[in-house]
Structure 1
Amino acid sequence: MLHSVSAAALCITALIDKSPNINDCVNQFLSCGDINALDWSPEKVDKARFHSIIAASNENDPSRALSYAFKGEQPVISVEHCCFDGIYNKIKEFCVSVGALLPQQ
């Protein structure tokens, strides 16, 4: 059974690996004072965490959207990060099952 993980959650994993100390800071920010963002639905928490991490760690573009995180000369997130291996493997399995060619690695 395939379990669902949001794109933002995968990207958060890659971003935290680049800056491990940011995780605690973002969680403190999202639960500071009367803010209870960590109690939101998982999808909303992932989006809030993603945007908070980007704002705090991406000086060149602190408002970069998830859709642009992989683009440009210096992408914020590498698609080669191990957190994306599961997606790659599922695509590879599908391609093999339909006889499609995969790009050479």
Structure 2
Amino acid sequence: MAFTNSCYPRSVSSHGKRQMTIEEFKKWLKQFDNDGDGLISKEELREALRSVGGWFTTWNSGRAIKSADANSNGYIDDTEIKHLISFAEKHFGVKIVMS
């Protein structure tokens, strides 16, 4: 699943992946923090994936949460975002670069 939403990645890398900075990724993701608690739930991540035309969003969001949620509380916080970035790069056709 490649992210194609216009509010998402700014350019395409040489590998055909959408590319963005870590800060752009965080900003994009935080717009789906519906309850404003600073955490991303499985449901919020599913909504984010749907916004970019993702398929199997329930399954993919569950896999992403399991992969990135280091403390197993069911949410992604700022300390776990690096794990979510790693998962996104492997499975969602996006490349996250330093600013």
Query: Does TM, scored on the shorter chain, surpass 0.5?
Result: no
Using the size of structure 2 for normalisation, the TM-score is 0.35
| Greater relative CO, 1 or 2 (CA 8 Å, sep 6+) | 2
Structure with greater helix share of residues: 1
Structure with greater strand share of residues: 2
